[in-house]
Amino acid sequence: MELKKIQDIPHCLNRICFCSDYLEMNSLNHNHRLFAFDNRHIPELLSWIKTTSDLGYWAGNTFEEGLSPLIFSRHLARKDLTARMMVDTENRLLAYGEIVKMSSRLCSFCRIAIRPDARGYGLGKKFCGSLIEWVKSAQGHEEVMLNTLSSNHAALACYTGVGFKMISRKKKARLVDGIKQDIMKMNYLVRK
Ligand SMILES: CC(C)(COP(=O)(O)OP(=O)(O)OC[C@H]1O[C@@H](n2cnc3c(N)ncnc32)[C@H](O)[C@@H]1OP(=O)(O)O)[C@@H](O)C(=O)NCCC(=O)NCCS
User: In this model, does residue 169 exceed pLDDT 80?
Assistant: yes
| pLDDT tens digits for range 42-71 | 999 999 999 999 999 999 999 999 999 999
Distance between CA atoms of 111 and 148, rounded to whole angstroms?
10
H/E stretch holding 52? helix 52-59
Ligand 1, closest atom to CA 114?
39
DSSP string, 140-178: --SEEEEEEETT-HHHHHHHHHTT-EEEEEEEEEEEETT
**Ligand 1: lining residues by beta carbon, under 6 Å:** 1, 57-58, 112-114, 119-125, 148, 152-155, 157-158, 161
Beta bridge partners of 189: 143
Going by alpha carbons, the residue nearest to atom 41 of ligand 1 is 113
H/E stretch holding 128? helix 123-138
Where does 34-189 sit in CATH, by number?
3.40.630.30
pTM: predicted TM-score of the whole model, two decimal places: 0.88
CA 20 from centroid of its chain's CA atoms: 25
Q: Lowest-pLDDT range, 28-37, 42-51, 116-125?
A: 28-37
Q: Which is more confidently placed, 31 or 2?
A: 31
